[in-house]
Amino acid sequence: MGYWLDRVFIVLVVAISAVYVIYALGSMSVKRRILAGFIHCFGLRIYTLLSPKTMGCTHCGVELQKKNLIRQLKQSGQADQNK
Amino acid sequence: MPVSLIDLPLQQLAVIREVKSVAGGADATALRRMAEIGFLPGEIVKVVARIPGGDPIAVRVASSTFALRRREASSVQVQVLQPNE
Amino acid sequence: MSRANQSSDLPIVALVGNPNCGKTALFNVLTGSRQKVANYAGVTVERKEGYFLTRSDQRIKLFDLPGAYGLEAETPDEQVTLDVLRGRLPGEQRPDLIVSVVDATNLRQHLRMVLGLRRFGIPMVLALNMSDLAARHGLTIDTVSLSQALGIPVVRTTAIHRAGVGDLLMKIDEVLAEQPVTADIAIPVITAETIAHDHEEVRRILSTLGVLDSTALRTSDHIDRYVLHPVAGPMILLCCLFVVFQAVFIGAQPLMEGLNSVVESVATFLYQRLPDSMVRSLLVDGVIAGAGSVLVFLPQIIILFFFILMLEESGYLPRAAFMLDKLMGSVGLSGRSFIPLLSSFACAVPGIMATRTIQNPRDRLMTIMIAPLMTCSARLPVYALIIAAFIPAHRVWGGVELQGLVLLGLYVGGIVSAMLVAWLMKLTAFRNEQHSLLLELPAYHMPVMRNIAIGLWQRVQIFVTRVGTIILSLMIILWFLSSVPSPPEGAVGPAIQYSYAGQIGQALSQVFAPIGFNWQISIALIPGLAAREVAVGALGTVYALSAGTHDVSGALTPLIAQSWSLATAMSLLVWYVFAPQCLSTLAAVRRETNGWRYPLIMLVYLFGMAYVASFITYHVTLAWTGG
């Protein structure tokens, strides 16, 4: 039992890491797609909860892009959960 | 007798007479930028430092110091100020 | 309404002023740690925003607009300032109030900017900054007359001593309550006549104040006599660099040992408490041996940036650019390349982006191509690890730390090879021409510890965030690849040899054997492509897994000291001077040059140089050590 729980846990952790690496190294359009997919699946509330408040990398402008993306999603009504 | 900024001795105070385009001198953009940072007639200048070979030079104008290339410096005509002036 | 929207209803105040007027110091005093650094959308100009409370407890959003000499937008920085003030930058709101910051010792130049700013129709408060310095030069400025002459409120401030901030907050309250922003009025095109006109106006104001002819000989001039001296100047520059690299090793030692023992005790604790399972291996071998071994280099990063920030704050850096201009010109670079190349010592990506300030395309391309040769801070952990393992902590020549000397050598090696490449490019592909320099050498300032502390804190955050996100993720993936599949029944040797990572490493080591890399290094080079310091973490994980199950003394240094030859270590050091082991840099080059051509050229030439240089180093060291 514990053995299988271990396996599931590890697969989950490795999968999350893999997605994160793709997100971090990917181009802006890849980042957009991953973020949009994440928000689509889990809702904006969880996203804002997880989104780090700390300063992002100063030169990639990802933080700004995220803000714009959220604004767009809100306008298009995809993020209803946030009412 | 006005001299060009490149010929002004180190630490010698002088007053700017004219900033104009000369052959091999600063281009129009550089001239405007120079006006903006304070290279204007009537301002007091002094050469603070020269790299051996005279390029670039550090010039004190009013109360700021700027690094100029020989090319820009040659566009600035100055009049040496005598100590009693 | 969501929380995000509330903050956008706050009044917006923008700090505007010439570069070097103490604007950033004022920004730090007003906002404290409540600030955020990012970029303006679409441009690489740094965007700083923060929050503060006025006397009436009104929360205000504060922008620190890029410093500008004028308002006709010749550089991207000035363009941003202009666009924000006109409300023309998408995604940015027009400020409700401008705090125009001027250096009281340099009114002649800075007041011209104030006159220009008045034309924007935004209420304004003038902060007469550095007024203590002005007073020390015998310059007393009558703020009432100045306020009358300009038609705007004037407040005397001394940002570095936090003086006058109360008055400023009060004035901001008053003006915000009284004056609304008017619509964007047509701003006249700025010509030589406008400049001359404003200049006359400034002279008129200054003469009514009785401070027209105050060109007091400042302390800076005295210092410059030595610092910019043809002989003493370069010596001082060299000494500065020397001290910095000595300090990186000597100063970091105790801190690093402390951090190391913390990491080790966490590893031991987890190892003893958790049952023998894959999760334990993930935590101990993957997370702690991997990410932990990168984290211990935090002290070095802090010390390096402490000195860089000190040099920056004091006003020394532009003077270094001034002295190096000739040298850079001789290999076909301009003094303007200095600042992008200097920021490449932190990270090549912002360095490459900063090349946008170079107007000449040829200069810009050359600067981009050599920027990765500047030793970025991500290489520091790699260098520090290998140096600590292989270079004895001897003192040579009466107290000079040998390790620091080797580190300085690696930095100089990077610079020299960059110069060499630039020179070769000048000979072959690019022709040379002269450009204007016009670089301000600001007055020297005593560095303010508060600003240094804020700058360091931002660096620490960036580093720790990297370790906690991208490096951690890569380590988890590497651990996974190094753990599966499990070795066949009855296999001898550590399990990692049979894993995917082990197989890849062994295949790669065929390629890298001529330059002395073993399969462990070959594995570490792959995740090291994502970020250089990952290689250190990867070595940590690989060695932790190959060491078997009983060794958890996380310390990587003695491990590699045992298992590598000196030739291998030197070869790896040299490899890291050249190798373009950074995907983000290549991506930045692709973005900046609009195509794959230059990133590919860069990839090939840097890997080529790395391989050749490492090959030579390996075989020379091998012959020399009699191996």
Domain boundaries, chain B: 3-80
Query: Residue C538: which pLDDT band, with cuts at 50, 70 and 90?
Result: confident
**What single letter denotes the amino acid at residue C242?**
F
Strand (E) or helix (H) holding C103: strand C97-103
pLDDT for residue C109 is more than 70: yes
**What is d(CA C289, CA C109) in angstroms, rounded to the nearest whole number?**
56
Roughly how many angstroms between the first and final C-alpha of chain A, as a whole number? 41
Q: How far is CA B65 from the centre of its chain?
A: 11
Give the structural domain span for A50: 2-82
C373 vs C576: CA distance, rounded Å: 10
Residue % of chain A over a pLDDT of 70: 47
| In contact, C442 and C20? CB cutoff 8 Å | yes
Q: What subunits make at least 3 CB pairs under 8 angstroms with C?
A: A, B
Q: State the CB neighbour count (10 A cutoff) for residue C453.
A: 14
Q: What is the pLDDT of residue B32?
A: 79
What burial class does residue C145 get, using C-beta atoms within 10 Å of its C-beta: 0-12 exposed, 13-18 middle, 19+ buried? middle
Whether chain A has a CB inside 8 Å of the CB on C145: the answer is no
Q: Give yes or no for residue C390 having a pLDDT over 70.
A: yes
ipTM: 0.90
CB pairs under 8 A between A and C: 85
Average pLDDT (C461-475) is 81
pLDDT band for position C403 (cuts 50, 70, 90):
confident
β-strand pairing of B64-68 with B3-4: unpaired
Q: Which residues pair with C52 in a beta bridge?
A: C60
Is residue A61's pLDDT more than 50? no
Chains C and A touch (3+ CB pairs under 8 A): yes
Per-residue pLDDT, A55? 33
Domains of chain C, earliest start first:
3-216 (3.40.50.300)
CA–CA separation, C202 and C114 (whole Å): 10
Distance CA C473, CA C481 (A): 13
Q: Which of C192, C325, C442 sits opposite B56 (nearest CB)?
A: C325
- Bridge partners of residue B63, in order along the sequence: none
- Binary contact (C347, A59; C-beta < 8 A): yes
Question: What is the sign, positive or negative, of the torsion defined by CA atoms of B13, B14, B20, B25?
Answer: negative
Question: How many C-beta atoms lie closer than 10 Å to residue C449's C-beta?
Answer: 11
pLDDT of residue C577: 92
Q: How many CA atoms lie within 13 A of C341 on its CB side?
A: 29
Residue type at C265 in one-letter notation: S
Q: Which fold has domain B3-80?
A: SH3 type barrels. (2.30.30)
Q: Which residue has the higher pLDDT, C155 or C304?
A: C155
| Interchain pair A59, C37: CB under 8 A | no
Residue B83 has a pLDDT of 64
The pLDDT of residue C605 is 93
Return the structure tokens found at C158. Answer: 């001394």
The string of pLDDT tens digits covering residues C50-105 is: 888 888 888 888 888 887 777 766 666 777 888 888 877 777 788 889 999 988 88
CB C35 within 8 A of CB C85: no
pLDDT at residue C551 is higher than 70: no
- How many angstroms separate the CA atoms of C616 and C611, rounded? 9
Chain C residues in contact with B50 (beta carbon < 8 A): 230
Structure tokens at C425: 């490019």
Task: Give the residue from C441, C444, C445 with the most B CB atoms within 10 Å of its CB, the best one to mutate.
Answer: C441
What total number of domains does chain A contain? 1
The rounded mean pLDDT for chain C is 81
- pLDDT exceeds cutoff 90 at C610: yes
Percent of chain C whose predicted confidence (pLDDT) is above 90: 11
Do C477 and A82 lie within an 8 Å CB cutoff? Answer: no
Question: For C398-447, where are the alpha helices, taking DSSP H only?
Answer: 402-427
With an 8 Å Cβ cutoff, is C452 touching chain A?
no
Q: Which two tokens stand for residue C112?
A: 């011209």
Confidence (pLDDT) at A38: 76
Counting every residue written for chain C, the total comes to 627
In the predicted model, is pLDDT for residue A56 greater than 50? no
- Mark yes or no for CB contact B60/C221 under 8 Å: yes
Q: Which residue has the higher pLDDT, C210 or C416?
A: C416
What amino acid is encoded at C604 in this protein? V
- Distance between CA C13 and CA C64 in Å, rounded? 9
Rounded CA gap, C504 and C492, in Å? 19
Task: Give the strand order in the sheet containing C12-17.
Answer: C35-39, C46-53, C59-64, C12-17, C97-103, C124-129, C154-156
Q: Is the pLDDT of residue C389 over 70?
A: yes
Tokens 């001290």 map to which residue? C243
Task: Report helix, strand or coil for C114.
Answer: helix
Least confident of C137-141, C262-266, C418-422, C617-621: C137-141
Query: Sorting pLDDT into bands at 50, 70 and 90, what band is C606?
Result: very high
Determine contact: C359 vs chain A, CB below 8 A: no
